[in-house]
Chains A and B, each alone.
Chain A
Amino acid sequence: MPPYRPLQATTGGSFIGPRRAVAGLLMAAGGLLSLAVFLVDTFTALQGAVAVVYLVVVLLVAASGSRRAIGGAAFGCMGLTIVSFVLGHGWPELDAAMLRCLVSLSAIAITAVLSLRARDRMATIAGQARLIELTHDSIFVRDMDDVIVLWNTGAEQLYGWTASEAMGHRATDLLGTALPGHHTCVDAALFSTGRWEGEVSQRHRDGRLVIVAARCALLRDDRGKARVILEAGTDVTARRAADAALGESERRYRSMFEKARFSFWEEDWTLVMARIAILREEGVTDLAAYLQAHPTFVRECCALALVTDVNDATVRMLGARAREDLIGPLDRFLPATDTTFSRVILTIAQGGGVAEGETHLTNLKGERLTVLFALNMPLGPTRFDRVLVSVVDITDRKRAERALMAVQSELAQAARITALGEMSASIAHEVNQPLAAIVTHGEASLRWLRRPVPDLHEACDAIERVVRDARRASEVVHRVRSLASKEPRQHVRFDLAALVAECALLLEGELAQHHIMLSVDIAPEAPSPRGDRVQLQQVVLNLMANAIRAMSCVPGSRTLVLRARPDGEEGILVEVEDSGTGIPEDIAVHLFDAFVTTRGGGMGMGLAICRSTVESHGGRLWATNRPESGATFHFTLPVTVAEEAGA
């Protein structure tokens, strides 16, 4: 295959040293030959165009590839030809010898010109070959018998075989090429379109498989006969491995998502964030305050958060038949009373990326679930299209906790009643003994006096004992009172907001059960109260529980407001306001008396104890009915000194 020989030569002769030596050798040979021709031409009387042999010199020198050398050799040879002619034939005249000389000269010139052109073409091809060398892609050429005829550095790097090792071998044997699909399909494509592209796995010299993105081209000669196939390839092994790892990772994620016992949701928050962006453009800077003030906006956002996928656990949890039932806006599951969503919006809008908390969900059967959720953004805090939410249903746990709390509180109540009963029994006994003695002494003294002969001495004795025992009874009463007021109490300053938060937590179940919105409004300038935190918490808890009870049967929206304001110079006023039934007229007067109750199960001690607690702290507790509906309980606490007002 002549067109490819030079390529081979170039690839083979990439070393500078040998090439120079060959060129020098060629020059020397050319020089010697030209000298020999000159001597023969000049000093022998050969009647022929000996000078034509100079062509060989030019060709020899041309093989060295130097433009100047070719030129020099041509002109040199032509000069020598002319010198030989002049020496042999004298001054030229137009004869046969002259004609031969001219023929030789023109032959040398033509050869030189042709050599120069051939050399230029070679240089171009060599340049192209160098480009092939320079590229990082593997390029090799195989002939129609699959024998490798060209092998570049990229191929050496890709397959580990050097050019000399590779060339002459069948490509299929060397590389163990495995093609996608059948061999014939590839051949068919190659022969019909002249091109084929695809991925092949081939074998490296050390035995490992390399995946190569290959582009094959069929080269034909001038007559259209298929001559060679050029194959350029890029190593995509690492990329494929990364793709495979990514795919594997995605599969694992999917499998976890699908099969997890926890509920997983994928949500798209793009619309929510777009809405927030609009809000910001409109000039809203304090998003937290805005969300607080605009619950309808929060609700709107909730409808814009789209559930895009859920797993089987979620389908079960929400009582759906299939996951398709659950795809769509989130607000179908989040009850309107929810307070966590605005916090989550805020977290995500601030680039937090992670949010968690406890909230309620309404499932498709209308049941209310208590859940823990954790929201994160696996694609980064700015990718809102894939928000992953994991949810744990803790309804049963909460229910058990609530039941436990109810039992505990009932137990405490029972214990209180029992203690009260025991205490009253023991007080009754303590008081009754002297009373019995007093009565009997009195009666006995009367009998002594009414005897036929009155016994004044005995009568006086008896009356003295009446006095003594009456004193004793009075002491018992006094002792009981001081016992009751001696209960140790701690006076500390405490944070009302934290206390209210604890109460809200304790009453969370009841609030949710009766769909009551709790609004806590503690003025920042309200001073921190001071007193027995446990007792005062009982007061707040009691008032809140009463408010919940008062609202449990009223229709419409139910709101429990806990408000705190400064009261006078050094005091705090706390109000617990409900939208319930209000205080009935007949109860109002005796509201704070012991044993007054509107509840079947109540002892009627709550408000009485509340009032005595507040009063023992130096404050007041009273109640008013609201004009609209419901009642407000107010109590004040002096913030500085409370001790001297103790009972």
Chain B
Amino acid sequence: MTRMPPPMTPPLAPVVCIVDDDAAVREALDSLFRSVGLNVAAFGSAADFLARDNANAPGCLVLDVRLPGVNGLDFQAQLAAMDNPLPIVFMTGHGDIPMSVRAMKAGALDFLSKPFRDQDMLDAVSMAIERDAVGRRDADAIGALRQAYASLTPREREVMHHVTAGLMNKQVGGLLGLSEITVKIHRGNVMRKMAARSLAELVRQAEALAAHP
């Protein structure tokens, strides 16, 4: 169940990854992003990008639609299948509408046609980085919840389930064949282990867990 590093790890600086087979465009973007203080990693092909070091670094991907070997849109689908969370900003030499619609539907953040205005590109990239950061925070929170939930005993999970479903301690005891006192003890453990300060918070946590199993 544990996929993410512990939430204590210090956040890495975001990196803008550029994938474009045209060196001139690559260099230009590199220069532009660096001029506003962003970290940049440029790649000539999709394969180079996949083979990069530090693959978990936050940031975003600036991707040319036309790539050697693989179509940008297909590569987008490939990344989604790999659970890669990096937001994608697409670039195209000849922005055609059906292609951009497809890309946006598949979750692309923006679709810029070359030559683009620097501000548009920078806005798109900073939005993408922001989106990535939020995504990562959400993912971290869910991870912590899952960890806490994993530390519950089976009986405590049962109790949590019934309590968050709105049953009184007495009813829970009746259902599980336990005394009311015992139910209270389990419930106290649940609240402590889940770091929930109120029943309302515990209910929200249960909902979040149900939404991200």
Contacts and interface: CB of A to CB of B under 8 A. Distances in A.
A440 B118 contact: yes
Given A465-B28, A472-B24, A436 B115 contact: yes
A441 B31 contact: yes
Interface string A438-471: 1111011101100100010010011001001100
Contacts of A425: 94
B163 interface: no
Given A432-B115, A465-B24, A444 B93 contact: no
Interface in B1-57: 22, 24-25, 27-29, 31-32, 34-36
Contacts of A429: 66, 93-94
B115 A444 contact: no
Contact of A433 (B25, B35, B117): B25
Contacts of B115: 432, 435-436, 438-440
Interface residues of A, number: 27
A444 B32 CA distance: 4
B24 A444 contact: no
Contacts of A443: 32, 117-118
A424 B22 CA distance: 19
B114 A458 contact: no
B118 A447 contact: yes
Q: Which of B36, B114, B117 has the most CB of A within 10 A?
A: B114
Shortest Cβ-Cβ A-B pairs, 6 listed: A436-B114, A440-B28, A437-B24, A443-B118, A447-B35, A439-B115
Contacts of A582: none
Interface in B72-100: 91, 93-94
Nearest to A428: B94
Given A436-B114, A436-B115, A444 B94 contact: no
Interface string A460-503: 01100100110010000000000000000000000000000000
B92 to A, nearest CB: 9
Interface string B136-162: 000000000000000000000000000
A451 B35 contact: yes
Contacts of B34: 458
Contacts of B27: 437, 441, 465
Contact of A444 (B28, B91, B117): B28
B93 A447 contact: no
Interface of B: 22, 24-25, 27-29, 31-32, 34-36, 66, 91, 93-94, 114-118, 121
A434 interface: yes
Q: Chain A's interface: helix, strand, loop or mixed, by majority?
A: helix
Interface in A547-574: none
Given A432-B114, A447-B35, A440 B29 contact: yes
Contact of A447 (B25, B29, B36, B114): B36
B35 A458 contact: yes
Interface string A236-264: 00000000000000000000000000000
28 contacts: A432-B94, A433-B24, A434-B24, A436-B28, A436-B114, A436-B116, A437-B22, A437-B25, A437-B27, A438-B115, A440-B115, A440-B116, A440-B118, A441-B24, A441-B28, A443-B118, A444-B32, A444-B35, A444-B118, A447-B32, A447-B118, A448-B35, A455-B35, A458-B31, A462-B31, A465-B31, A468-B24, A472-B24
A448 B31 contact: yes
A448 B35 CA distance: 5
Q: Which of A437, A445, A448, A468 has the most CB of B within 10 A?
A: A437
Nearest to A465: B27
Q: Which of B31, B93, B114 has the most CB of A within 10 A?
A: B31
Contacts of A441: 24, 27-28, 31
A436 B22 CA distance: 10
Given A444-B32, A458-B34, A462-B31, A435 B94 contact: no
A445 B32 CA distance: 8
A472 B28 CA distance: 15
A441 B118 CA distance: 9
A432 B29 CA distance: 15
Given A432-B114, A434-B24, A447-B118, A440 B94 contact: no
